[in-house]
Amino acid sequence: MKFSTRKDIDAPAEYVFERISNFEALERQAMRRGIEVVRKDPAQSRGVGAGWTMKVPFRGKTRDLEADVVAFSAPSGLAVNAKSDGLDMVLVVDLVALSPKRTRLAMSFDVKPQTLSARILVQSIKFAKGTLDRRYERKIGQFCSTIREDYDKTRMA
């Protein structure tokens, strides 16, 4: 099952990449949402090899998740592979500079079941695919708006 969206952001590609690869800020955001996040290596740098173990509440159950950065190319994008309970997940973020101050973000999240129980879980989620697509689109839109607003604030200062 795949979720994807494209958004244009009124900010330079370098600034957008800096924000999407600010793992410390993303970790704090996840923790505020009730996700336990632990770095695999406390001294890890930003880039390929960075990884986390997480405990994610989902459908009334806490699920263990392992995530690793597998591609990191500033300022064009990154990719993260994750595994949890028979699910293989891939998050890919591509950035294209449309102009010096405008960037197109293309983000896709692909979930592939590897076990029978994971297939059943994904199949049950497919019934709500339309709702989940709209929620994904809205959340990514909010994230992009925040990036644009923060960029505007830095230009004004």
Residue 46 CB contacts under 8 Å (≥ 6 apart), including other chains: 21, 23, 72
The candidate with the shortest Cα–Cα distance to 2, out of 106, 95, 116, is 106
pLDDT in tens, 84-120: 989 999 999 999 999 999 999 999 999 999 999 999 9
pLDDT in tens, 114-143: 999 999 989 988 999 999 999 999 999 999
